[in-house]
Structure 1
Amino acid sequence: MNTSLKILTSVLTLFGALLLLVLVISCDGLFSKQPDSEPLARVGNAFLYKEDIESLLSASINQQDSASIVANYINNWAIKQLLYSKAQINLSEDEIAAFERLVANYRIDLYTRAYKEALILRGEDTTITDSQLQRFYEEEKENFILKEKLVQLRFVQLPKQFLNKEEVIERLKRFEGADQVFLDSIGVQFTKLNFNDSLWIPVSRIVQEIPPISFDNEDRYLKKSQFFELEDSLGVYLGKIADVRSINEIAPLTYIKPTIRQVLLNRRKLEFMRRLETEILDEAVKQKEFEIYEKEK
């Protein structure tokens, strides 16, 4: 037995239990089996029981609100039941048949979708290696054109009354090992900070975080290797630009890694399902569970 069918068999027991539970519930509804408790309301042969509304109520709701919630629920339930009954009487046979087909198809879709997801969870390999990401990036990089400028920067926002600004500027520019240790040690005094200058940040995010920078003036401040010092009523903003990627350039791999990973996982999922469906059909044919009747000529 191949790998996909082994997965199919292993999931079958778990899914079968779920299927049995749903069938039991469906049969209860089909044969209108009534609980032992007294009903709260009736419309024709349909009954509403206390158990049906227990999820609506909680200890935090007072008695008056509870009564109002229950009354509204009962009325809405009754309206739906009455409309459903009248629809069965007043709709044409063709319309009812069409709706029944839709319901049947939707029921099948729900079961098969849940079953496929269970199979995928059991059998899909979600490991994506760096080499796979790199290979896909090299093959498809022309499809990853930037629609927004990206910037790598280290940045701090200081309170306006900060006393040691010049040393922070010097260390932020140089940013050697000792400088990083020093800046980390006083980081609690900064209003905002970002020392990870390998992270690509969209300009729209920078405009949000640094109010003196806007879409109108960002070209002046967000240039490769540039240092900026800006100020407004909220504080002083110091930043050192490490690198820039402009609109219409190819996005850096580190920026689009999550996107590529999801694309590869989606492709793998589709391929897994195609292979599984083919194997299910082949196995059914071998076991004479599935056949197509040829029309007589």
Structure 2
Amino acid sequence: MRFLDIQDLRSTALIGILFLILSLGSCNSLLREKEEKKPLARVGDTYLYREDVAALLSSSISKQDSASFVTNYINTWASKQLLLSKAKINLPEDKLTEFERLVDNYRTDLYTRAYKEALVQQTLDTAISTSQLQSFYEREKENFKLKEALVKIRFIELPKQFLNKKTVVSSLKRFNKKDQTYLDSIGVQFRKLNFNDSIWVKASRVISEIPPLTHENQGRYLKKSQFFEMEDSLGVYLAKVTNLLEVNDIAPLQFIEPTIKQVLLNRRKLNYIRKLETEIIDEAIKEREFEVYGEDK
């Protein structure tokens, strides 16, 4: 056995004093840090701090509204904490274990989903070419049968006492460049107008814009190349149907293009995520971060 000499004792004492000073310094630091956080409420050993609530308050809120919000928030927080405490005491152990597992799974899913979405946004190519759209459409067009009629239409709603209706009707029917210029020039007198007959719209949308037109009578009026005039207590409705697609007809590419784009992007995203997951596992195995143990280990 080796005896400590005076020098050893002094060194040991000095180390002990330094350790004590550092420990006290750390304690003081922790105490100061705890003192800086001012609690608003306590339930058992759980505290609600001012900083937690301050982050939820808008700078534009009045003092009175702020006080009311804080009071309500504290009461809601306390109610949840008390119920949680009672639940942990009174629920069966197997239920608590199941809930903890669900919470862990949800936390994992939340983090991993957010991470994957961030990677997708940074790296996934979201451009869909015209040829890709056309190719998918031709291949899958039988799956795009219409459940509602589509029309290409131009229409005008006139006030009841409009004086020059005959000229407007003629111009809307012919619709050459001169007619378009004329109708545009007096458009401010119309209650409603739509001159863009190059796009497909649902029949239900047309019915919503022309009240006398209904689902029951649309078959009489919504016919290809047909002009019709209708009237109610609010106004006079003039319309020219330039094209029509019936229920069970194949939807035109122009109409379902946004849907196809979304389908293609979702498929591309799914393939990217599958590839990402495979690459992550392969890399982890290579770096010895991931191992699967056999039953004999």
Shorter chain as normaliser: what TM range? 0.7 to 0.9
* Alignment root-mean-square deviation, CA: 1.8
Q: Tell me how far apart the structure 1 counterparts of residues 112 and 194 of structure 2 sit (CA, whole Å).
A: 47
Aligned-residue offset at 1:56: 4.1
Aligned-residue offset at 1:57: 5.8
2:4 aligned partner: none
2:150 is the counterpart of 1:131: no
TM-score by length of 2: 0.83
Q: Deviations over 1:51-108 (max 9, x none)?
A: 2223246544452x44433322222211211121222222333222222111111111
Q: Tell me how far apart the structure 1 counterparts of residues 295 and 181 of structure 2 sit (CA, whole Å).
A: 81
Partner secondary structure for residue 241 of structure 1? strand
Q: Tell me how far apart the structure 1 counterparts of residues 170 and 228 of structure 2 sit (CA, whole Å).
A: 12
In structure 2, the CA distance between the partners of 1:117 and 1:159, relative to structure 1 (3 Å rule), is: same
2:285 aligned partner: 285
2:186 is the counterpart of 1:186: yes
Segment drifting more, 39-48 vs 214-223: 39-48
2:3 aligned partner: none
1:5 aligned partner: none
Q: Which structure has the larger Rg?
A: 2
Q: Tell me how far apart the structure 2 counterparts of residues 38 and 120 of structure 1 sit (CA, whole Å).
A: 41
Matches within 5 A, 1:19-34: 34=34
Q: Tell me how far apart the structure 2 counterparts of residues 278 and 179 of structure 1 sit (CA, whole Å).
A: 63
Matches within 5 A, 1:270-281: 270-281=270-281
2:255 aligned partner: 255
For structure 2, the 5+ residue unaligned runs are 1-32
2:130 is the counterpart of 1:140: no
Q: Tell me how far apart the structure 2 counterparts of residues 278 and 68 of structure 1 sit (CA, whole Å).
A: 52
In structure 2, the CA distance between the partners of 1:34 and 1:114, relative to structure 1 (3 Å rule), is: farther
Q: Tell me how far apart the structure 2 counterparts of residues 274 and 67 of structure 1 sit (CA, whole Å).
A: 50
Aligned-residue offset at 1:141: 0.6
Q: Tell me how far apart the structure 1 counterparts of residues 74 and 220 of structure 2 sit (CA, whole Å).
A: 65
For structure 1, the 5+ residue unaligned runs are 1-32
In structure 2, the CA distance between the partners of 1:136 and 1:165, relative to structure 1 (3 Å rule), is: same
Partner secondary structure for residue 107 of structure 2? helix
Amino acid across the alignment from 1:86: K
1:165 aligned partner: 165
Q: Tell me how far apart the structure 2 counterparts of residues 123 and 57 of structure 1 sit (CA, whole Å).
A: 35
Amino acid across the alignment from 2:182: F
2:10 aligned partner: none
1:72 aligned partner: 72
1:197 aligned partner: 197
Identity within the alignment, %: 63
Matches within 5 A, 1:81-230: 81-230=81-230
Aligned-residue offset at 1:265: 0.6
Aligned-residue offset at 1:126: 0.6
Aligned-residue offset at 1:263: 0.5
Aligned-residue offset at 1:295: 2.9
Q: Which has the higher contact order (CA 8 A, sep 6+)?
A: 1
Q: Deviations over 1:181-232 (max 9, x none)?
A: 2222222221111111111111111111000101111111110000011111
Partner secondary structure for residue 109 of structure 1? helix
Corresponding pairs, count: 264
1:53 aligned partner: 53
Q: Deviations over 1:13-48 (max 9, x none)?
A: xxxxxxxxxxxxxxxxxxxx8471432211111112
Q: Tell me how far apart the structure 1 counterparts of residues 291 and 266 of structure 2 sit (CA, whole Å).
A: 31
Q: Deviations over 1:121-158 (max 9, x none)?
A: 01111111111111111100110111111111111111
TM-score by length of 1: 0.83
Partner secondary structure for residue 53 of structure 1? helix
Q: Deviations over 1:229-251 (max 9, x none)?
A: 11111111111110110011111
Partner secondary structure for residue 214 of structure 1? coil
1:29 aligned partner: none
Q: Tell me how far apart the structure 1 counterparts of residues 282 and 51 of structure 2 sit (CA, whole Å).
A: 46
Q: Tell me how far apart the structure 1 counterparts of residues 74 and 290 of structure 2 sit (CA, whole Å).
A: 47
Q: Tell me how far apart the structure 2 counterparts of residues 247 and 159 of structure 1 sit (CA, whole Å).
A: 33
Q: Tell me how far apart the structure 1 counterparts of residues 35 and 123 of structure 2 sit (CA, whole Å).
A: 40
Partner secondary structure for residue 120 of structure 1? helix
In structure 2, the CA distance between the partners of 1:141 and 1:34, relative to structure 1 (3 Å rule), is: farther
